[in-house]
Every structure is written in C-alpha cells, then in structure tokens.
Amino acid sequence: MLKLDSHVHTQHSGQTTIYPLSLVMRESYNTPEGVYQLAKARGMDLVTITDHDQVSGALSIAHYPDVIVGCEVTAVLPNDGVRVHLNVFGQQGIYTSLNHVASGINGPLTAAHLAAILPWVDGLEVINGTRLPSQNRTALCLAQATGKHLLGGGDSYTGRGIGLTWTEVPGAHNREEFMAGLRAGRVIAAGDHGGHRTMLSDMWRFAGNFIAEGVTDTATRPTDWRGYACAFGGVLGLPIMPLVMTSAFVHFLHEQRFNRDLLYDLLAKPGAAAGMAPGLAA
C-alpha cells in the first residue's frame, strides 16, 4: 500500500487572488523541495505538487522516482462562468478529480453544475484537509452515489497540513502501480479534516512566512519596494490579527451555509444526486 497527499501548493501557485494583497503576497510560501522532504518525513510514500494552473513546481522535483506530476487546473463553465478546481495527475492517461466539492470557494456551485461536471471527472476529493467534516461528508455521499473514486488531500498552503490527509492505493509498490490503481478506482481516502483551528494555525504561519520573506527581500534587494511593503505591512498588521481570526470564524459560517444549500439543491434534483439520501441519513 502506498500513500500520497494528493493536494499541495507551493510558491509556484503565484500571487494571492485577493487585491491589493496580490501586489505583495504569495498564494503559498512552501518550496517544492520543502514539500517533498516534509511529506516524506510524515510518512508519504509518494509526493505530488498541485499548484494553481502551473506544473513548474512539480517538475522541479520530478527527478525523484517517487514524485507524481500534478496540477490544480481552474476550469470555467461556459454558460455562467462558474469556476471549479480540478486536480490532474500524470503525464499520459491524465487522471482528473474535482476538489473541495462542497466549498463556496468554487463559486456558486449548484446541482446542475455538478451534473454537467461529473461525467468528465474520475474522482472526487472527499477529504480535504482545510474543509469542515460536514463538507467532506457531502462530497463523500456524492461520490458514493455517482460511483466516483474517493481521494484525500491536505490542500496545504503552509507546512502544517502536508502529509496529514492522503489517498491510499492498496497493493501498490511503486509510482506506476499507484497510478494504475488510481485509474482503476482502488483507492482509499484517509486523514484529517479541517476546521476553525487548522485555518487559524495556517493564518499565523502564513503571516510569519510573509514577514520573513519581506525581511529577507529588504536585505538581498534593498531597492525593491515590495520587500519593505511585506516587512512593514506584516508588522503593522499583527495588531489586527484578532480581527483576522474572527474572519476565519465568519468564513466557516458561510461555508456551513453553502454546504447546506448545496445539499438541499442536490436532494431536490435527484438526477444530479441519485441515491444520496441514504448516505446523508447515515
């Protein structure tokens, strides 16, 4: 049996999408080599990197025999522009899974959207290490109802969650056998769910990485204004961290509401979620 944390981000995911923070702040401060070493130290047999719409991070460690090239692709639905995130793995015979199914970060996703997407994907991420157990349970019920494979991944933007949520393929002994088992659906999702505490931990780590990069940049590139903005902005922002922590609580209130609304929509449209009701009742 081999284990893989199937959802990890690095610096290669680019800048955050939140303006004006996007001028100075990265989406992640993980390095590819750091991800590899930490994942191995935490018991992962294989390692992947799934940066947003980039494979450069994964390719930078692809010389290791236990690395699977991956990417988190942003797909835009043609009718209304709703965006979804798909993990893709491999270099031939691409394997595709839909990430954080019951999360509002995908946009206003509905049962109709899922009915259009599901025929095109192999699996669903049923344990996401940053999402609430209730959200992951919705994804699990949907996967079981539609016959999709079950995947687990940390969705880690900091080092905290790397290797704590994973996908297993029983009987696999190497990368090729793992991918064959993945494509055949011989997979088990396991590990930690997310929640308020994990998000708060990630926020503190992220703030520390942001300030550290700013300090380093001012020392190595003294004429670059971004380094000073990172350093001073980070220090000045520390007093408002309680407000940021409150925003994390509000975020998950919205996530719970989104999950509930999606559940109602799925149950109201049995064509999109046939057979979900027994799973939800359990």
pLDDT of residue 212: 78
Task: Work out the pLDDT band at 4, boundaries 50, 70, 90.
Answer: very high
Question: Residue 227: what pLDDT?
Answer: 63
pLDDT at residue number 84 = 95
Q: Is residue 240 part of a domain?
A: no
Q: Which residues are 46's β-sheet partners?
A: 4
User: How far apart (Å, rounded) are the C-alpha atoms in residues 203 and 230?
Assistant: 15
Task: Supply the pTM of this predicted model.
Answer: 0.88
Q: How far is CA 209 from CA 130, 205, 227, 230, in A?
A: 19, 6, 12, 10
Q: Please answer whether residues 65 and 85 qualify as being in contact, where contact means their C-beta atoms are separated by less than 8 angstroms.
A: no
- Residue 51: pLDDT over 90: yes
Q: Give the neighbor-by-neighbor strand order of the sheet with 67-76.
A: 149-153, 123-128, 95-98, 83-89, 67-76, 46-49, 2-5, 165-169, 188-191
Rounded Cα distance between 185 and 36, Å, is 25
Q: Is residue 224 part of a domain?
A: no
CATH (domain of 14): 3.20.20.140
Task: Answer yes or no: is 89 within a domain.
Answer: yes
Place of tokens 């690095």: 10
Question: CB–CB of 99/7 below 8 Å?
Answer: yes
In this prediction, residue 246 has a pLDDT band, given cuts at 50, 70 and 90, of confident
Does residue 281 have a pLDDT over 50? no
Residue 19 domain-assigned (yes or no):
yes
Range of the domain at 135: 2-196+253-281
Answer whether residue 130 is part of any domain. yes
Please indicate, yes or no, if residue 25 is contained in any of the structural domains: yes
On whether residue 67 sits in a domain, the answer given is yes
pLDDT in tens, 131-161: 999 999 999 999 999 999 999 999 999 999 9
% of the chain residues with pLDDT over 90? 64
Nearest to 167 by CA among 99, 254, 241: 99
Q: Tell whether 238 is covered by a domain.
A: no
CB 187 within 8 Å of CB 181: yes
Q: Quick one: how far is CA 100 from the chain centroid?
A: 7
What residues have CB less than 8 Å from 139, skipping those under 6 apart? 100, 101, 102, 124, 125, 126, 128
Pairing status of strand 188-191 against strand 165-169: antiparallel
User: Quick one: average pLDDT of 115-124?
Assistant: 94
Split into its structural domains, the chain has a count of 1
* pLDDT computed for residue 86 by the predictor: 97
Q: What is the mean pLDDT of the chain?
A: 88
